[in-house]
Amino acid sequence: MLGLPEITIPFIIFFARIADVSLGTLRITMVSRGYKIQSALLGFFEVLIWVIVVAQILSNLDSWINYVAYAAGFSAGTFIGLYIEDTLKVGTSLVRIITLDKSNAIIEKLNQAGVAITSVDGKGGFNDVKIIFTVLKRKRVNHVFELVKEIDPNAFFSAEDVKYSNKHHDHSPVPKKRNVNRLLSLRKSI
């Protein structure tokens, strides 16, 4: 490979494999969430790297260390790809919260945080419950869970990916009412 020492080939294979498998993991998540252009772009680079790595292995079939580097790179790439995907938190989630008796406090706290909710009465196995739903960006899910745990540590909550939604309910907190007359008089004086 371009006159490189033979000892570097397994390292190149290992790191290239990490790159292509990480891109593949991200591509699969993008496909499942409906991001067509991003998926195609990631797929292009994933396959380009893979072809280069396979060409190196085929030209160095006599070295077993290249096979180990290929397999280890695949394993590490899977882990790193999932880590990157979890860090990016791309997409939208449906959050479901079930609480016995602290629904009003949870709803108020979520509204203050700019989270739009829908709540319905439900029947649990032993008690009546309140079920609270919201659809929001995945980046905000952990924050919502922390708010719920702060108010009701016994509440049940879960999140699931949403492939399509006509809108999500990420809002900023509702601004306080402004004094419209004051604003109009300021505008007239300008």
**SS3 assignment for 12-80:** HHHHHHHHHHHHHHHHHHHHHCCCHHHHHHHHHHHHHHHHHHHHHHHHCCCCHHHHHHHHHHHHHHHHH
**106 and 152: one domain?**
yes
Q: How far is CA 54 from CA 13, 19, 66, 72, 186, in A?
A: 9, 14, 10, 14, 70
CB atoms within 10 A of CB 24: 21
Does 181 have pLDDT greater than 80? no
Phi and psi for 116 in degrees, rounded to 5? -80, 135
Does 144 have pLDDT greater than 60? yes
**43 and 84: one domain?**
yes
Give the end of a domain, one of 54, 88, 122.
Answer: 88
Asked if 41 and 25 count as a contact pair (C-beta separation under 8 A), the reply is no
Facing residues of 121 across strands?
130
Q: Which amino acid is located at 127 in the chain?
A: N
Q: How far is CA 190 from CA 61, 179, 180, in A?
A: 79, 17, 16
User: Which tens digits make up the pLDDT trace of 67-88?
Assistant: 899 999 999 999 999 999 989 8
- The two structure tokens encoding residue 74: 């695949």
Q: Rounded to whole angstroms, how far apart are CA atoms 3 and 5? A: 7
- pLDDT bracket for residue 125 (50, 70, 90): confident
Q: Which helix (H) or strand (E) holds 150?
A: helix 141-151
- The two structure tokens encoding residue 65: 């260390």
At residue 5, the pLDDT reads 81
**50 and 103: one domain?**
no
Tell me whether residue 171 is in a domain: no
Tell me whether residue 178 is in a domain: no
pTM over 0.75: no
Give the end of a domain, one of 29, 56, 88.
Answer: 88
- pLDDT bracket for residue 123 (50, 70, 90): very high
Tell me whether residue 97 is in a domain: yes
Residue 8 CB partners (closer than 8 Å, separation 6+): 1
